[in-house]
Amino acid sequence: MHFLHDGRPGRTLEAVWTRTGWMAYTWDSSSHTSTYMHDDRGATHYAPTLLALLSHPTIASKEAVIRRYDHEVQGATVLKPLVGRAGNGPGDAAVLQPQLDEASKAGIVLSNGVNPLYGKIDPYHMAMNAVDEALRNLTAVGGDIERVAILDNFCWGNPTDPEQLGMLVRAVKGCHDAAIGFGTPFISGKDSLNNEYRAGEQRLPVIPTLVISAVGVIEDAAQTVDMSLKAPGNLLYLIGRTNEEMAGSHYGEVVGQAVFEQFFPYATVPEVDISHAYDSMKAVGAAIRKGLICSCHDLSEGGLAVALAEMALAGSLGVRVDLGNPGPVDIQRNTINIVRLFSESASRFIVEVTLEHWEAFEQHMHSSGIRDIKHIGNVTNTGYLHIHDWDELIYLPVMELQKAWKGGQA
């Protein structure tokens, strides 16, 4: 056994990391620009930007792929990949109840997190954000952050390349710090290395990518919720901190380099505050299991505007959101609005609460030590997504949101 486990000599490889943690963008985003983006007005006309985001291959509906596979799992699926009134909204996590004939009501929650755009900038923060996303997706359906394990899946270039190995070391360090910080052990994983395409003398590695999967237990699968809006008049709350962290954002993908650098010449990727994230997830998950929240959606690709649009199209209901006073009207006004609408800062949720439960919900969150919570709007029966501050920012029919989201399938 000693020979089997320790007989092969260890390898000594060189790892190099020299980047700064921020970057000025230099990509060609033309392949991602939606047909809705006829010019560069997306900087100040936010509706075309939102429609472009909804049709971005990463965000758009994956129904064509999902329907090819059995996701019913012998009829034990409580929450499916697609949710909502018409069964076509993007669910945050799947919930299975494997013991249908037993007295137990327990369910298994499965979720994922991934964002390779961060990997091109700083793999450490890609790893931290992937863990955070997997855990908040699990939380968004009612999972318990205190009963979670995680798995990793690395897709990388040649580790004998010092730069590739340096990025891999950064990502593994992020996995380590996230697992220790959240108290979520890695129970398994997989790596796929040496993913390169060779064209003559040139070697082109894949974008460094890490997928994190999370698995947890919920004592009563009937306590889970999905992300579709439920009823007009219900209140909408934003939970979490929104920061100017626009590097690797999908906003940057759809508006292009020139527009992006006009507002964010030196951008950083979102950073995860583990203590804040853990407390928020623990409080939100508990509120769902207590029945205080009737729908919940995490904020990820595309930020607040995309999350609200997805909830509206899944529930076939409208939304009216007031982002409040943006401050003095000057050259920073557009920057502020872009951040509020499209920032992908980590550890955030939109929750829907009934008029019956809003006081108990707010009391629960405050007693849990959560201060980053704000009532931002209401569910409506107008059939429109309406986001405004002093001015109208986005006013679009939900049917148009659905069309953009459905038409941009990968």
Indicate the range of 15-24, 102-111, 313-322 predicted with least confidence: 15-24
Average pLDDT across the chain, whole number: 89
Give tens-digit pLDDT for 72-127: 767 788 999 999 988 889 999 999 998 766 778 899 999 999 999 999 899 999 99
Handedness of CA 269, 272, 276, 281 (dihedral sign): positive
Chain segment 249-274, per-residue pLDDT in tens: 999 999 988 889 989 988 999 999 99
**What pLDDT, on a 0 to 100 scale, did the predictor assign at position 100?**
66
What number is the average pLDDT over the span 326-332?
A: 51
**% pLDDT > 70, the chain:** 90
What integer pLDDT is reported at residue 325 of this predicted model? 60
Q: Is the model's pLDDT at 39 over the cut of 70?
A: no
**pTM (two decimals):** 0.91
| 48-64+75-407 is a CATH 3.90.650.10 domain | yes
DSSP H helices, 57-216, are 63-66, 116-119, 123-140, 162-182
In 3-state terms the chain splits into helix, strand, coil percentages (rounded to 5) of 35, 20, 45
Alpha carbon distances (Å) from 206 to 1, 120, 153, 360, 407: 36, 10, 14, 49, 27
Per-residue pLDDT reduced to its tens digit, 331-387: 476 888 999 999 999 999 999 999 999 999 999 999 999 999 999 999 999 999 999
pLDDT tens digits, one per residue of 182-236: 999 999 999 999 998 888 888 889 999 999 999 999 999 999 999 999 999 999 9
**pLDDT of residue 28 exceeding 50:** no
pLDDT digits (tens, 9 = 90+) for 42-70: 444 799 999 999 999 999 999 999 988 88
- Give the residue extent of every domain in the chain: 48-64+75-407
| DSSP string computed for 153-182 | EEE---TTSHHHHHHHHHHHHHHHHHHHHH
C-beta neighbour count of 200 within 10 angstroms:
5
Task: Give the distance, in angstroms, between the CA of residue 390 and the centroid of all CA atoms in the same chain.
Answer: 28
Q: Which of 301, 324, 321 is nearest to 254 (CA)?
A: 301
Say if residues 206 and 195 touch (Cβ distance below 8 Å): yes
Distance CA 137, CA 130 (A): 11
